[in-house]
Amino acid sequence: MDAQVLFGEKATTKLAAVFDTEVDANGVAEQLRSAAGMNAGQVRVLAPGDFKFDKKLEPEPAGVARTLVRTHVILGVAGFVLGIILWLGLYWANVGLIRSTPYPSAIAIIFFLTMAGLLLGGFLALPPDQQSLAGRLRKALTEGKRCVIVHPRSPEECDAVERMLTQGGVTAMRSV
């Protein structure tokens, strides 16, 4: 199974860089748009006091909602099925505890593996590294700096953006 089926967003990775001046930020943003072949929606400049911070940081709110649903449904069902398979395997292996309490053991195993799938779905849908990236960008904006945030849609675009930023002497921050 392709892991991308879990995500409802086209761009799951974010790259960001912080600049002292508006001229530097706009120049790098324009360079990324033209040289990396990205559109304006993929490369955005954040300024202090920007009222659209959340929209620029997460331009696909419907995609985030789809990701939440997909990860929870797919991984919850996978945990449920894995729980059934595990319980059946233990039952057929004549494990005494499972044989002596078949219904309670089935409920417990299936419940805990379903919950594990749902927790994993939540972790994948809202990864902590993106929250950390948002916090670092907010801090930079409160210090009066400008930020460029890039939403590459493929691993190739991601590598090209990172390479361009590094060659330009810019330190890039990246989420998974």
pTM attached to this predicted model: 0.65
Q: Which CATH architecture has domain 3-49+127-174?
A: 2-Layer Sandwich (3.30)
pLDDT tens, position by position, 85-94: 999 999 999 9
Which two tokens mark 167?
Answer: 């060659």
Q: Which of 137, 127, 129, 135 is nearest to 174 (CA)?
A: 129
Which two tokens mark 68?
Answer: 């939440």
Domain map of the chain by residue range? 3-49+127-174, 63-125
Task: Give the integer Cα–Cα distance in Å for 86 and 113.
Answer: 9
Residue 155's CB: how many other CB atoms inside 10 A? 9
pLDDT of residue 70: 87
Q: How confident is the model at residue 173 (pLDDT cuts 50, 70, 90)?
A: confident
Burial of 94 (0-12, 13-18, 19+ CB in 10 A): exposed
Mean pLDDT of the chain: 82
Higher pLDDT, 148 or 7: 148
Amino acid identity, residue 15?
L
Task: Give the integer Cα–Cα distance in Å for 135 and 128.
Answer: 11
Q: Is the pLDDT reported for residue 135 higher than 60?
A: yes
Which two tokens mark 124?
Answer: 């994948």
Which of the residue ranges 43-52, 63-72, 124-133 would you say has the lowest mean pLDDT? 124-133
Which two tokens mark 38?
Answer: 């990205």
Q: Is the pLDDT reported for residue 4 higher than 90?
A: no
pLDDT of residue 66: 80
